[in-house]
Amino acid sequence: MSWDVPLTDVVITPEDRRAVAECLEGGWLTMGPRTRRFEAALEQWTGASHAVTVSSGTAALHLAARALDLGPGDEVVVPALTFVATANAVRYTGARPVLCDVESSVRPNLDAAAVERCLGPRTRAVIAVHLCGYPVDLGPVAELCEARGIALVEDAAQAIGAELWPGRQAGTAGRLGCLSFFSKKQLCVGEGGAVLTADEELAARVRSLRSHAMTSGTWDRHTGHAASYDVIDLGYNYRLDEPRAALGAARLPRLREDIERRRAAVHRYRAALADTPGLTLMWTEEDVARSSHYAFPVLFESGDARRRVRTQLASRGIQTTRYPVLHSFTALAPLAAPGSLPAAEAAADRHLALPLSSHTEDDTVDRVAAAVRDALAQG
């Protein structure tokens, strides 16, 4: 189906094309000097001590779990409302995800009270997901984890550039933070991700594991800095390639401006939909100010209303999406019983994400908002 208003849009600039073309013309495509320059730029932009790029956000989460030595018998607290990669990264290690409810259907992030209810003697880590770019109130969660000796991992796959508190970005407060550069993300290169950490040993472990745990890389051997290599652990082929690193480095200087354009579109949506009967705006104005706005979800009175509005919008060529709870999937159903995580389940059933990108125009926002109001009025 061809959408008149797609969920998101990616604009590739002449600068982006030149950066990738120069890489292709140079003839070196696997992980090398452009990857390291992109990592250095990410460190400067995010404020992280170490940024290790990888092949996807899922790879970032998996390597974070491996770096913490998670394994069979361990438990990791994960919000029930998140993308499946958050839980799967835990499962890859043999550890068990423990699904946690969220604060509320209107503000569907982890909070310390919900996390504490899920802790047990086998809990080794908590993964805090900054859903849709809206940061978790991380201070109390971090204090709880520190008091219990539990590792805090931030899933900031949807939240690069979000502000935890003044001067601290999402992904830089936990022991490890995970970013994604997937096509719909604020900083997109197609596929890719990164692990952020202030811990030099964890960074070194992630760097090793992303490339088969080899003691030297192809670029090192190509440039004469190593003649051979050893393999010192069970590693993976999770490297980011040079063309994507070049594209990421070209796009990164525009990221702050892109986020501000997303925020402007969100403000316009919120103004247009405020006081709409049958619709609730999610998160608070303070949350909006700190978000990096991966997506703009709104909440309806029921799942039936959400489905009706989505059908009406699709008939007008407007694409939308939603996030199911993890235990609604066949493979993850054993993790929690239906009805056991009511806030997450209500948010999943009743929310709908409307079109949003850094290039969403005012007239597009107005058109989508009007279509939502019309669909609700017809109900």
In angstroms, what CA-CA distances link 319 with 23, 179, 264, 310? Answer: 35, 25, 20, 8
Specify the residue for token string 């059933």. 349
- 315-331 pLDDT, tens digit each: 999 999 999 999 999 99
Least confident residue range of 97-106, 165-174, 185-194, 209-218? 209-218
- 92-150 pLDDT, tens digit each: 999 999 999 999 999 999 999 999 999 999 999 999 999 999 999 999 999 999 999 99
Question: 119: number of CA atoms within 13 Å, CB side?
Answer: 19
| End-to-end Cα distance, the chain | 25
- 292-312 pLDDT, tens digit each: 999 999 999 999 999 999 999
Task: Identify the pLDDT of residue 2.
Answer: 84
Is residue 1's pLDDT more than 80? Answer: no
The 10 Å CB-count burial string (b at 16+, else e) for 353-366 is bbbbbbebeeebbe
> Which amino acid makes up residue 39?
E
Is residue 212 within 8 A of residue 231, CB to CB? The reply is yes
d(C-alpha 345, C-alpha 58), whole Å = 23
Q: Is the torsion defined by CA of 342, 344, 348, 352 positive or negative? A: positive
Which residues, in sequence order, are bridge partners of residue 182?
190
d(C-alpha 291, C-alpha 161), whole Å = 8
- 336-349 pLDDT, tens digit each: 999 999 999 999 99
d(C-alpha 327, C-alpha 333), whole Å = 4
Candidate CATH numbers 2.40.10.220, 3.30.420.80, 3.30.465.10, 3.90.1150.10; the one for domain 255-378: 3.90.1150.10
Q: Could you give the dihedral angle defined by the CA atoms of residues 320, 325, 328 and 332, in that order, rounded to the nearest 10 degrees?
A: 130
Candidate CATH numbers 3.40.640.10, 3.40.47.10, 3.40.50.300, 3.40.1210.10; the one for domain 14-252: 3.40.640.10
Residue ranges of domains in the chain:
14-252, 255-378
Task: Identify the pLDDT of residue 159.
Answer: 98
- 14-50 pLDDT, tens digit each: 999 999 999 999 999 999 999 999 999 999 999 999 9
Task: Identify the pLDDT of residue 232.
Answer: 87
Task: Identify the pLDDT of residue 158.
Answer: 98
Q: Phi and psi (nearest 5°) for 298?
A: -125, 160
Above pLDDT 70, what percent of the chain? Answer: 98
Task: Identify the pLDDT of residue 228.
Answer: 76
- 222-266 pLDDT, tens digit each: 677 677 789 989 999 999 999 999 999 999 999 999 999 999 999
**Mean pLDDT, residues 48-61 taken together:** 98
Is residue 219's pLDDT more than 70? Answer: no
pTM, two decimals, is 0.96
